[in-house]
Amino acid sequence: MSFTPSTPAALSALALQTFEQVVRSSPGFKIRSGQHAMAERVAETLAAADLGDQAAPAKAIAVIQAGTGVGKSAAYLSTAVAMALERKTRVLVSTATVALQEQLIHKDLPVLAASMDKPFVFALAKGRGRYVCKVKLDRLAGTGSGEEDLFEEDFPAVALSTASQEAIEERRIQLYDHMATLLAGNKWDGDRDTLAQAPEPSDWSAVAAERHTCTARHCPRYKDCSYYNARTRLAEAQVIVANHDLVLATLGLKTLPDLDNCLVVFDEGHHLPAVALDQFSSAMDLSNLRWLDKLPRTMQDVAKRLHLHLGEDITTVCSQLKTVLTQTQRLALDLVHGTTEGADGTLRFAHGVLPEPLHEPIAQISAQATGLQKALEALGVDVKAIAKEDPSMAALCAQLYAKLGALAPRLASLSGTAQLLLEHGEQPLAKWLQAESENGYLNLSAHACPMVPGDLLRQFLWSQVRGAVVTSASLTSCGSFDYFLQEAGLSGNPNVSTLEVSSPFDYTEQGTLTVVHTRAEPKQADAYTAEMVELLIRDLDEVQHGALALFTSRAQMRAATQALPTRLMDTVLVQGSLSRTRLLASHMARVEAGLPSVLFGLQSFGEGLDLPGKLCETVFICKLPFAPPSEPVDEARAEWLRKMGRDPFSELVIPATAIKLLQWTGRAIRTEEDRAQVICYDKRLQLQPYGRRMLGGLPPYRQLRRQGREAAQPV
């Protein structure tokens, strides 16, 4: 008779025992006290949470920063999976990047499954839009376009020649026929990512599965639907790997396990706040209005073919909506051009206050779009009902429902954005207009977005989660969790515990951090860039193997690239000159051949890039990665803080920069055998109080100071 632990302490002990067994059986096992401490905290946290129906459920969330080399995925996977199997529940692991998802699915979880006594199934969760809709494909295969282009997601932003249109049409015919043939021969599972060649986004969108266009169980292709087959496999898995976007986008939709009845791990958790803002932002297109001509025709056609009655004059309402949108378009363009001297750009509304001329038209858009949205939804309900009542009509209903659903997101964006633009409370929203011209075509849009991610996460995510671990290598800023907890909506939460697990690397022995003191002040952009580039080129001559130079702007990187002498032209590989994959492959090939190679990159190269050993022996930081509020949401939040007598530079800019700096310096030492140096050309890191705060949050590199070209001296 097996013993089933019932107390949190017993559950925790069992999970930790499994972790210890798994790591001991791993090839090249090394005792890592930090990894054990992390596993222990994961076990204690997840054991303390009540799952399922409870009157007053206990909640527990651990926020764990695990430095490079700790082995955090092994610490949380073995512990959480063992706990889930014992509690007969599931584990949801959410990441921010595809790279980590692939590592978990193809490496970490297979290894764990092979070393655990209890078997378990794991699966990767993807959004519905990654799968083909066979109903749409059936309609398009052989023609390249649907009747009246009913599934066309967007009109081209530029006028195309007849030859170009014919080329696109031919490409689509070949693509859709090819996909249909693969499906018919059971040589493709309908997952976009498993196609040998990735299709153009516009081609794929015409056949992508979407919630708005799907009749689900009433669809004649339901039993062999690629998306629902994947959902079935997901339902059979005890461990599900997803991403932050999908988790937040599907809250309440039953796509993933209920968060109050499973164990959750957010790896790369420092991305959660930014993902939350992106998920809860809203925008309306003010430049492309032709779809409004198609909306009444589509609704009337569906109603006529199924003998249904439309309750209101859809044609008149659509005409009124198009008129007010055209009026708003002119007003918006005048407002943008009035502040940008006739040029394209962004106009943010100060303090979230909508200009008076826009109040009435935006209110009309809200009322009319909401009315049409309800009429469209009601018609869709009727279509589904017919499919349910008469299976012989299911195929036709699926096609007609897809017609309606293709237009639903447009109405939803108008209704939702207009309502947010009209909203004004104690904490204002960020609101702005964006005008962009491309090849003679104008894109004009209106945007609204909450500006404090913590409030969103607290309301929509943490209110549901019972037991969770949030982990990353960069959750602290200037040595404190305070900034992340605030941004993530966890500050002041009594159910939250924090743990910082240091890297097992000996940074003092393995690396140095040299701060170069320039004559020019970093705020003197032109003079500083010129001097920094001169010093950087001098240091590039010393590179023997691999190095990485990180820039804060494209203009700064361009200045350094243009200043390269002929002798360094072949040594430097610049981000954007090739795809990321080819760029890294070229870098590795040069280093392996014994040649020096330097990568020039921006922020995306400062995080998640793993170049151990000779591939990266030096990281050049060309300037502290400050991100002054320039995006509308950042500007609005800074404005709001200043209005409340608070300092956005201290509260937002410094902590965010410190986290980026921690990520950037983390590119240098990736293994216990690495020897590397970090060279930063921004003297503020040692001279300014905030710079010294940032230094306090970095690994304990041996610090040096260099005056211009002089030899470096210990600090």
Mean of the per-residue pLDDT values of the chain: 92
Judged against a pLDDT cut of 90, whether residue 26 lies above it is answered with no
Q: Is 621 a domain residue?
A: yes
What pLDDT, on the 0 to 100 scale, is given for residue 354?
Answer: 95
Confidence of residue 168 (pLDDT cuts 50, 70, 90): confident
- What would the mean pLDDT of 682-702 be, rounded to a whole number? 96
Q: Please identify, among 166, 200, 230, the residue that sits at the C-terminal boundary of a domain.
A: 230
Judged against a pLDDT cut of 50, whether residue 83 lies above it is answered with yes
More confident residue, 639 or 4: 639
- Cβ-in-10-Å burial (0-12, 13-18, 19+) of 605 comes to buried
Confidence of residue 146 (pLDDT cuts 50, 70, 90): very low
Q: Is 649 a domain residue?
A: yes
pLDDT > 70: percent of the chain: 96
Q: Return the closest-CA partner of residue 377 out of 414, 405, 410.
A: 405
What pLDDT, on the 0 to 100 scale, is given for residue 32?
Answer: 87
Tell me the C-alpha to C-alpha distance, in Å, between residue 342 and each of 42, 332, 339. 56, 12, 8
Tell me the C-alpha to C-alpha distance, in Å, between residue 250 and each of 283, 415, 475, 520, 528. 19, 20, 25, 50, 47
**One domain for residues 576 and 656:** yes
Q: Element (H or E) spanning 658, and its range? A: helix 654-665
d(CA 704, CA 512): 7
Q: Residue 306's domain spans which residues? A: 281-449
**One domain for residues 512 and 643:** yes
* Span between the terminal Cα atoms of the chain, in Å: 64
**One domain for residues 31 and 81:** yes
- 617-669 tens-digit pLDDT: 999 999 999 976 678 999 999 999 999 999 999 999 999 999 999 999 999 99
DSSP of 291-354 = HHHHHHHHHHHHHHHTT---SS-HHHHHHHHHHHHHHHHHHHHHHHHHHTTTS-EEEEPGGGPP
- 308-335 tens-digit pLDDT: 988 778 999 999 999 999 999 999 999 9
Q: Is 235 a domain residue?
A: no
d(CA 439, CA 158): 6
**One domain for residues 224 and 253:** no
Q: Is 2 a domain residue?
A: no
Judged against a pLDDT cut of 70, whether residue 158 lies above it is answered with no
> Angle at Cα 48 formed by Cα 45 and Cα 49, nearest 5°?
95
Judged against a pLDDT cut of 70, whether residue 707 lies above it is answered with yes
Q: Is 640 a domain residue?
A: yes
- What would the mean pLDDT of 474-492 be, rounded to a whole number? 96
Q: Is 3 a domain residue?
A: no
Judged against a pLDDT cut of 90, whether residue 1 lies above it is answered with no
**One domain for residues 224 and 185:** yes
Tell me the C-alpha to C-alpha distance, in Å, between residue 305 and each of 298, 308, 386, 399, 401. 11, 8, 12, 12, 12
d(CA 328, CA 340): 18
Confidence of residue 142 (pLDDT cuts 50, 70, 90): low
Judged against a pLDDT cut of 70, whether residue 145 lies above it is answered with no
Confidence of residue 161 (pLDDT cuts 50, 70, 90): low
- What would the mean pLDDT of 168-196 be, rounded to a whole number? 91
Judged against a pLDDT cut of 60, whether residue 160 lies above it is answered with no
In this structure, are residues 387 and 393 in contact, taking their beta carbons and an 8 Å threshold? Answer: yes
**One domain for residues 546 and 608:** yes
**One domain for residues 104 and 214:** no
**One domain for residues 206 and 299:** no
Confidence of residue 3 (pLDDT cuts 50, 70, 90): very low
Q: Please identify, among 230, 260, 291, the residue that sits at the C-terminal boundary of a domain.
A: 230
Confidence of residue 5 (pLDDT cuts 50, 70, 90): low
- What would the mean pLDDT of 103-113 be, rounded to a whole number? 94
**One domain for residues 264 and 316:** no
Q: Is 1 a domain residue?
A: no
Q: Is 652 a domain residue?
A: yes
**One domain for residues 37 and 97:** yes
In this structure, are residues 451 and 640 in contact, taking their beta carbons and an 8 Å threshold? Answer: yes
- 346-376 tens-digit pLDDT: 999 999 999 999 999 999 999 999 999 999 9
Total of domains in the chain? 4
What pLDDT, on the 0 to 100 scale, is given for residue 593?
Answer: 97
Judged against a pLDDT cut of 50, whether residue 150 lies above it is answered with no
CATH number of the domain encompassing residue 16: 3.40.50.300
What pLDDT, on the 0 to 100 scale, is given for residue 151?
Answer: 39
**One domain for residues 216 and 271:** no
Q: Please identify, among 440, 475, 501, the residue that sits at the C-terminal boundary of a domain.
A: 501
**One domain for residues 680 and 574:** yes
Judged against a pLDDT cut of 70, whether residue 106 lies above it is answered with yes
> Angle at Cα 39 formed by Cα 8 and Cα 667, nearest 5°?
150
Structure tokens that stand for 423 in this block: 């909203």
Structure tokens that stand for 11 in this block: 């559950």
- What would the mean pLDDT of 421-439 be, rounded to a whole number? 89
